[in-house]
Structure 1
Amino acid sequence: MHAVTYFDGEAWRAGTAGLVDGRVRLSDLEPTADPPRLDGVISGGYTDHHVHLQLVDHMLLAGSTLGRVVDLGANPEVVVRLGAGAVDIAFAGAFLTPVGGYPSDREWAPAGSVREIADADAAAVAITEMADAGARRIKVASNAHAGPVFDDALFRTIVELAAARSLPVVAHTEGRGQAQRAARLGATQLAHAPFTERLDDAEIAEQAASVSWISTLAIHSGADLTIALDNVRRFHAAGGILRYGTDMGNGPTPVGLNAGELAALRDAGLDDTALLQALAPVDPLDPASVLLFFPGATPATADPLHARPLTADDLKV
């Protein structure tokens, strides 16, 4: 048994770690005696909140420091069958988009990963299918730069139908006014930090009060990156909830932790604790959780890039 310091997703806590059937298990019970202290700190495996597993070799996740990934656009019949070791896979299923809307015309979109929605009846059928397949959220495309977007009434209907199945709506927004419109119509998360327009401070405050943002900063360059960083910097300062996400599969992104995304989040003003909160580690007290070890680190020096899986050998006295 070792005394340990671990990150519970929001803050650092004291606990103990020991071996159970040869595997490391973490407890939130503080040691009552004076056991040896682990030289380093612990967290659960990180979460990438925006991936596309059909566009990468998903089996590489098993060797990464990710403990959970959220697929935001895939054929539900395919993604539900995927496995990646101890990494939890959550998914939204297919993009829901208007007829002719983004990304229905994109060559990179696998068959079955986009559902064109003409009306409320079609939306009901699609959401039922995604929910029955095991989706944990619904993805809506609202890209005014690349085709039509849903009118307000149909967008609200999709949100209501999803809510009836206890599914939040994640919106891909591009184009002037689309981020604000999605938030106003009931989306609870933006799949990308807004990058096509600078939101004013009042709009940032409204966003911070109503939706969370998935970062995906490292996929951008030039003006898009400048705009996104400025928006994220002010959103974070306003108390908005940021979630680490990379749009994995969008170009040559790593299948694992993305150093470029972490660097961009630091550029946007996230300190060490805020960065770990954005990474939303899986509950380290869950017996199925991937446990990460930051050798020799303290809470003040725990760099996510320096973590590795915790092993039984780390608990040897």
Structure 2
Amino acid sequence: MKAATFFDGEGWRDGIIDLDGERMLLRDEPPASDLPFSDRPRLDGVIIGGFTDHHVHLQLVDHALLHRSTLGRVVDLGANPAVIATLSAALRGAKIASADPCGAKNASESTFSGAFLTPHGMTTPHETPRRTSHPVSVEFAGAFLTPVGGYPSDRHWAPAGSFREIADTATAERAVGEMADAGASCIKVASNSSAGPVFSDLLFRAIVEAAAARGLPVVAHVEGAGEARRTALLGAARLAHAPFTERLDDAELVAQAASVSWISTLAIHDADGETRSTAVDNVRRFHEAGGTVLYGTDMGNGPTPVDLNPAELAALRDGGIDGTDLLRALAPQNPLDPASLLLRLPATDADPTLARPLTSADLKA
């Protein structure tokens, strides 16, 4: 049993880390009649919950690698609902066999070209030190909801069943119900005017209302002039990508900061490209306006690591998000929850890529 400093989602606090068999438990106060924090041996470094990637596509990666990552939670934003529901249940177990992902393309084929029209191969895992296997919490949207002929219905990377083409309100309500019944925590709507038709205002609102009736927020993939503003006004709660088509004016950023959160996905753009520059600039000013930016990588879009992505962290820092703000964007799991992954960082100001899962050996040292 050792004293430890931990991140509670907003700031740093003191707690007690204890060993229950091989499982580590964190408490925010010492047991009754126990030594005070100041007199107890202290764990070197600090504790934080497992990180969250708010935008992944698990059918396009070797999802088994998540078990040895520093990600404790991921949000899948576009998959066959039956497949992702099964995968979500499996990943909550301690171990899963590494294999060709359910419904994914073979490694030799192109996979996720996404909105960015760049062919990519199957995600290639980065070499990492061997780590203890841990469960992963998977939330998901299920299938993309898109107009007939809309994005991503014409994309070769889209697994079978990963999108629903919506023609009218009745179809929309059925599709929302299908995703909700599969266990979705949100509804993903495509609004990509650069790649095909988009929903009318009336039909987009109908989807938002149907989702709200099931207690689900709408996450919108927006691309094309005016789509970020339009979908925010129509009730989208979150944008799946930081807007990159156009520079949003300051008044629009202030308005969105009050009602919409953004998932970053900055590193999917070419490092010296115009879309990245636009997205980073929008993120910087949105953050300054008080907007909520969440870490997300669009995992599966190109050769991204199935783990924390250093390139995405660097891009967020370019957008003015660092230190405690960066940790909040990573939305770590609550370390006081016994089901959460516990990570050890060297210090409160350390680079998150230096985090590693806490082990029982850390308490015995």
TM-score by length of 2: 0.85
Task: Tell me the equivalent position of 1:227.
Answer: 278
Shift of 1:220: 0.5
The one-letter code of the counterpart of 1:65 is: T
Task: Tell me the equivalent position of 1:268.
Answer: 319
Whole-angstrom CA distance in 2 between matches of 1:167 and 1:281 = 21
Whole-angstrom CA distance in 2 between matches of 1:53 and 1:271 = 27
CA-to-partner distance for each residue in 1:102-124, whole Å, 9 max, x for gaps?
Answer: 00000000000010000000011
Check if 1:291 corresponds to 2:295: no
**Secondary structure, in 3 states, of the residue corresponding to 2:40?**
coil
Whole-angstrom CA distance in 2 between matches of 1:11 and 1:164 = 34
Shift of 1:10: 1.4
Q: Which of 28, 32, 50 lines up with 2:55 in the alignment?
A: 50
Is this contact kept in 2: 1:41–1:302, CA < 8 A?
A: no
Q: Which of 307, 311, 317 lines up with 2:359 in the alignment?
A: 311
Task: Tell me the equivalent position of 1:193.
Answer: 242
**Secondary structure, in 3 states, of the residue corresponding to 1:97?**
strand
Whole-angstrom CA distance in 1 between matches of 2:344 and 2:302 = 30
Task: Tell me the equivalent position of 1:242.
Answer: 293
Shift of 1:302: 2.3
Whole-angstrom CA distance in 2 between matches of 1:13 and 1:27 = 11
**Secondary structure, in 3 states, of the residue corresponding to 2:150?**
coil
Task: Tell me the equivalent position of 1:76.
Answer: 81
Q: Among the aligned pairs, what percent are the same residue?
A: 69
The one-letter code of the counterpart of 2:199 is: F
**Secondary structure, in 3 states, of the residue corresponding to 2:55?**
strand
Task: Tell me the equivalent position of 1:218.
Answer: 267
Task: Tell me the equivalent position of 2:308.
Answer: 257
Select between 140-149 and 4-13 the one with higher mean Cα deviation.
4-13
Task: Tell me the equivalent position of 1:15.
Answer: 15
Whole-angstrom CA distance in 1 between matches of 2:53 and 2:18 = 28
Q: Which of 145, 149, 152 lines up with 2:198 in the alignment?
A: 149
Task: Tell me the equivalent position of 2:36.
Answer: 32
Shift of 1:77: 0.6
Whole-angstrom CA distance in 1 between matches of 2:194 and 2:10 = 37
Runs of 4+ in 1 over 2 A off after TM superposition: 30-33
Shift of 1:272: 1.0
**Secondary structure, in 3 states, of the residue corresponding to 2:283?**
helix
CA-to-partner distance for each residue in 1:68-96, whole Å, 9 max, x for gaps?
Answer: 00000000111111133411000000000
Is this contact kept in 2: 1:101–1:146, CA < 8 A?
A: yes
Whole-angstrom CA distance in 2 between matches of 1:148 and 1:67 = 36
Whole-angstrom CA distance in 1 between matches of 2:64 and 2:10 = 29
CA-to-partner distance for each residue in 1:261-298, whole Å, 9 max, x for gaps?
Answer: 00000111112101100000011111111100013x2x
The one-letter code of the counterpart of 2:80 is: N
**Secondary structure, in 3 states, of the residue corresponding to 1:81?**
helix
Task: Tell me the equivalent position of 2:331.
Answer: 280
The one-letter code of the counterpart of 1:148 is: P
**Secondary structure, in 3 states, of the residue corresponding to 1:239?**
coil
Select between 171-180 and 16-25 the one with higher mean Cα deviation.
16-25
Whole-angstrom CA distance in 1 between matches of 2:293 and 2:22 = 36
TM-score by length of 1: 0.97
Is this contact kept in 2: 1:119–1:154, CA < 8 A?
A: yes
Whole-angstrom CA distance in 2 between matches of 1:9 and 1:111 = 37
The one-letter code of the counterpart of 1:88 is: S
Task: Tell me the equivalent position of 2:100.
Answer: none
**Secondary structure, in 3 states, of the residue corresponding to 2:43?**
coil
Is this contact kept in 2: 1:173–1:194, CA < 8 A?
A: yes
The runs of 5 or more residues in structure 2 that have no matched partner are 95-134
CA-to-partner distance for each residue in 1:199-252, whole Å, 9 max, x for gaps?
Answer: 010111111111000000000120000000000000011110010000000111
Whole-angstrom CA distance in 2 between matches of 1:104 and 1:187 = 21
